[in-house]
């Protein structure tokens, strides 16, 4: 056995997802998910992270960044400890941890492009006693890449199949698509918002964290003028490689388009349609047959999946459950695999995904 732990907290900033995997090699289907854990952030820390991400902090921003980096690192370490408490192994049995961290800024198109994920890996390594690999995205940017998305490289390794055309769609806060085509480079990119706008809108109007199965959206109707306005966003017509984040697609981006006459449930239905149409448009640039496999939190939004199936026919829409991988844990599993690649000095090919100049060994290694 070769045991690795993957850690990630997504753009919703609600919890840390942790997985324990046995990864015997980097070859296809050589990963076995042994245990999982989701550790919610305390509400106070979640609020601080969201405010920091939206530039709503008060006082010395460097002090605040340092404090948040430390706190998030402690919670990531705690997630590892709790995961191992209910696992048939101990810290000394783990080869390494792959920690994505918490993204607080992603600026791939800035004059000096950068991305920043916090959650001090020194703290994770020190408090768990396990070698930790982190800071993956900045290495990709150093080689000319956009720093995102990374999941497509994992999708290529574990979901590609010579018998059919496949695409994998991760519906997190942001939607990213991986196109797996026989004999051609893997293509992966962010299409735009997945859950982030719907989550923020229902939280504002209903006080809920998310729209369960898209039920609230289904009570509304599409506002066509609003949808047309939203689809005029230049990002949606940009070709890959491209990446974005919730620091761009958020309520500050949305609210200038909202009129007082718009019913909140109609806006929610329109936001669901925005996600479905932008995913559909980008997938069908590359494939017209095959199967689309959905992972991420949006895999539980039945209304969204139903709409995607309507749009994508004759392409089939399934969740990764049918491939034997729970859609909730795919992204955390990816970072366990990235840790395995780095610690074995094996490169990851992101050239056709992020635009990196060459295959690279990604991430930095932090020893306990």
Residues making up the annotated binding site for ATP are 10-17
Identify any residues that bridge with 132 across adjacent strands, giving them in sequence order.
97, 366
Q: Helix 151-159 crosses helix 330-343 at what angle (to 10 degrees)?
A: 90
The angle formed by the CA atoms of residues 123, 48 and 146, to the nearest 5 degrees, is 70
Closest CA to 4 of 41, 29, 27, 32: 32
Pairing label, strands 3-9, 15-23: antiparallel
Provide the 3-class DSSP secondary structure of residue 44. Answer: helix
Closest CA to 14 of 248, 173, 133: 173
Beta strands in 172-324 (DSSP E): 174-180, 187-193, 291-295, 316-319
Contacts of 283 (CB under 8 A, 6+ apart): 167, 169, 177, 179, 292, 312, 315
Q: How far is residue 250's CA from residue 126's CA, in Å, rounded to a whole number? A: 36
The Cβ of residue 345 has, within 10 Å, a number of other Cβ atoms equal to: 7
**Residues of the binding site:** 10-17
Q: How far is CA 77 from CA 10, 74, 101, 120, 343, in A?
A: 16, 5, 11, 10, 19
The Cβ of residue 78 has, within 10 Å, a number of other Cβ atoms equal to: 16
Q: How far is residue 8's CA from residue 353's CA, in Å, rounded to a whole number? A: 20
Q: How far is residue 79's CA from residue 85's CA, in Å, rounded to a whole number? A: 10
Q: Helix 264-283 crosses helix 196-206 at what angle (to 10 degrees)?
A: 170
Inter-residue contact 141 to 113 (CB < 8 Å)? yes
CA 166 from chain centre, in angstroms, equals 19
């Amino acid at each position: 056995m070769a045991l690795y732990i993957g850690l990630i907290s997504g753009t919703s900033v609600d919890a840390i997802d942790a997985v324990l995997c046995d990864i015997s090699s980097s070859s296809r289907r050589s990963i076995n998910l042994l245990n999982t854990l989701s550790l919610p952030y305390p509400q106070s820390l979640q609020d601080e992270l969201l405010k920091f991400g939206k530039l709503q902090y008060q006082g010395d921003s460097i002090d605040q960044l340092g404090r948040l980096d430390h706190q998030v690192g402690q919670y990531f370490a705690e997630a590892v400890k709790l995961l191992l408490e209910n696992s048939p192994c101990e810290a000394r049995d783990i080869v390494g941890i792959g920690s994505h961290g918490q993204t607080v800024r992603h600026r791939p198109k800035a004059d000096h492009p950068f991305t920043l994920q916090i959650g001090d890996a020194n703290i994770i390594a020190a408090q768990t006693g396990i070698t930790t690999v982190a800071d993956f995205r900045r290495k990709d940017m150093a080689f000319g890449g956009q720093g995102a998305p990374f999941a497509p490289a994992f999708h290529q390794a574990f979901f590609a199949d010579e018998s059919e055309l496949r695409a994998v769609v991760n519906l997190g806060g942001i939607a990213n698509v991986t196109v797996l085509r026989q004999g051609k480079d893997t293509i992966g990119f962010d299409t735009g918002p997945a859950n982030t706008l719907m989550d923020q809108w229902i939280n504002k109007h209903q006080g809920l964290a998310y729209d369960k199965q898209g039920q609230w959206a289904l009570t509304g109707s599409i506002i066509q003028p609003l949808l047309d306005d939203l689809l005029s966003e230049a990002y949606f017509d940009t070709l890959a490689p491209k990446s974005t984040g919730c620091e761009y697609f958020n309520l500050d981006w949305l609210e200038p388009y909202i009129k007082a006459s718009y019913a909140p449930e109609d806006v929610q239905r329109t936001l669901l349609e925005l996600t479905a149409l932008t995913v559909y448009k980008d997938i069908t640039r590359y494939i017209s047959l095959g199967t689309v496999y959905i992972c991420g939190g949006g895999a539980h939004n039945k209304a969204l999946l139903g709409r995607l199936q309507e749009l994508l026919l004759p392409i089939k829409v399934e969740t990764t459950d049918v491939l034997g991988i729970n859609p909730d844990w795919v992204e955390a599993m990816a970072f366990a695999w990235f840790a395995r690649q780095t610690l074995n000095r094996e490169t990851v090919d992101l050239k056709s995904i992020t635009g990196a100049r060459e295959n690279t060994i990604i991430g930095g290694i932090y020893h306990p």
